[in-house]
Amino acid sequence: MSRVGKMPIQIPDGITIEREKNKIVVKGAKGILEEKVHPEMDIIIEEKMIRVERPDNSPGHRSIHGLTRTLIQNMITGLTEGYEKKLEIVGIGFRAELKGKVLVLQLGFSHPIYFVPPETISIEVPAQNTIIIKGVSKQLVGQIAAKIRSFRPPEPYKGKGVRYEGEHVRRKAGKAMV
């Protein structure tokens, strides 16, 4: 049995969970999240706990069992605590600023890059070289962070570009002078 899948999920106060056919709807103080689940997974909603059970031990059901439980847990965590990703900008002249809700990035190109985040995502720029992305959906926060990073990923020679906080960039030796 899946070690992750067999663990029950605790439902904190202020969170309501409903199942509508193949969809789980989680409502909380920070909003509403929906996720499609596999129709064969049996989701048992009790007073303060949720359990996910699979119909049999086939490889397909075993692989979906832990995934389903983790997706539900991530929705509950997102609506109670929220998720955030921090990005660092490294490079001379590289900077970020927020104009209203639009993120403006200067990343060494001849033009600035304008990025408008979705409604459920909030972006903060505490310093010119730091971006904080916050939201209730773990998937969407990670996707937006990856999108911003893709504008100028860190290069291996000088390490310039946009990177996740704490990301290690493997550096290469430059051209040897003879």
* CATH number (domain holding residue 136): 3.90.930.12
175 within a domain of the structure (yes/no): no
The pLDDT value given to residue 2: 59
Indicate whether 170 belongs to any domain. no
> Quick one: DSSP state of residue 94?
-
Q: pLDDT band for position 62 (50/70/90)?
A: confident
HSE-up of residue 44 (Cα within 13 Å, Cβ side): 11
Task: Give the N- to C-terminal CA distance of the chain in Å, as an integer.
Answer: 62
Domain end: 63, 80, 97, which one?
A: 80
The predicted-structure confidence for 128-164, as pLDDT tens digits, reads as follows 999 999 999 999 999 999 999 999 999 999 989 999 9
Closest among 106, 101, 104, 105 to 121, alpha carbons compared? 101
Q: What is the pLDDT of residue 84?
A: 95
Mean pLDDT of the chain: 92
Q: What is the dihedral of CA 106, 107, 111, 113, to 10 degrees?
A: -70
DSSP state of 12: -
Question: What's the confidence (pLDDT) of residue 33?
Answer: 93
Q: Order the strands of the 113-115 sheet from edge to edge.
A: 95-99, 102-106, 113-115
In the block, residue with structure tokens 């979705």: 118
In a domain, 169, yes or no: no
CA distance 144 to 122: 10
Domain contains 176 = no
Pair type for strands 83-90 and 130-135: antiparallel
pLDDT over 80 at 11, yes or no: yes
Q: Give me the domain span that covers residue 75.
A: 9-80
Q: Among residues 86, 65, 55, which one has the least CA distance to residue 4?
A: 65
Are the beta carbons of 148 and 71 closer than 8 angstroms?
Answer: no
The count of domains in the chain is 2
Are residues 48 and 99 both part of a single domain?
no
pLDDT at residue 89 in the model: 96
pLDDT of amino acid 47: 86
